[in-house]
Structure formats: C-alpha cells, structure tokens
Amino acid sequence: MPKQREDCLFCQIAREGAYVHKAKGFVAINDINPQAPVHVLVIPEGHVDTFRAVGEFDAKESKRMLEFVAETAEKVGLTDYRVLVNVGPTAGQTVFHLHWHILGGGNDASEVPSAVATAEAER
C-alpha cells in the first residue's frame, strides 16, 4: 500500500473519519456536497495523487479496492449506481488523493449524474 501524506485531507479522513464502510486499507464516507441521493466516496488509506498512479497499488490491493467499491455500494443499499473517478483538474478532480465516487439512490438515471463537477470546479 502506498504511504500516507501528512498534509493531505483524504489521508487524514482515512485515519479518522465518519465512515459508512471500512475495511483494511480502505474507507468510505458520505460526500460533503452530494450530487445524487446517495453519494459516497471510496478512499484508499495509502496516498496516490490520481488514478493515473493506480499502478502503485499491487495487484491484490487493486483487486481489493474494486471489491471494496462494490461492497460499499451494497452496504449503503444500492443495487444500481454509477462509479466515477475524476482524473486531473480539467476532468473535475479537486482533491488530489485517489477516490472513487459512488452515485445512486435516485428513482431513475436522471437523478444520478454521469459526471461529478464540484462547486469549485465549476467556478
């Protein structure tokens, strides 16, 4: 697992947060600014800046991370949902610690955006 960074918000949240799901190496939290009826973030405890560096996780950790995304969705009661990663600022990434958005909970797809743009990114 990549190392933590002292100055990173999501590293800190991975150490001490209000989790909707947690397992060894991974946590899931509610997004502070939800874009869908259910909007959860999956955060690995180890720090990599973006999805581009996903290769810094070993094969077992990467598999576990994907399983943890699926487990989290199930745990928060979703069977239908979107999984999304913003990679780089022009794609809407605002927090530079890899995280997976899980979006769902609406009655139809129109309530679940295909992209997540935060207020900061829209400005």
Q: Which one-letter amino acid corresponds to residue 76?
A: V
Partner whose footprint covers residue 11, from Zn ion, ligand AMP, none (CB < 5 to 8 Å by kind) = Zn ion
Contact status: 8 vs Zn ion (CB under 5 A): yes
Q: Which one-letter amino acid corresponds to residue 88?
A: G
* CB proximity list for 103: less than 8 A, separation 6 or greater: 35, 36, 38, 39, 81, 82, 83, 84, 112, 113, 116
- Residues forming contacts to ligand AMP in the complex (CB under 6 A) are 29, 31-33, 41, 86, 92-95, 116, 118, 121
Give the per-residue contact string, 26-55, with Zn ion (x = CB under 5 A; - = no).
---------------------x--------
Partner whose footprint covers residue 64, from ligand AMP, Zn ion, none (CB < 5 to 8 Å by kind) = none
* CB proximity list for 97: less than 8 A, separation 6 or greater: 5, 8, 9, 10, 11, 43, 47, 48, 49
Partner whose footprint covers residue 8, from Zn ion, ligand AMP, none (CB < 5 to 8 Å by kind) = Zn ion
Q: Give me the catalytic one of 21, 47, 97, 99.
A: 99
Tell me which residues touch Zn ion (CB under 5 A).
5, 8, 10-11, 47, 97
Q: Which residues are catalytic?
A: 99
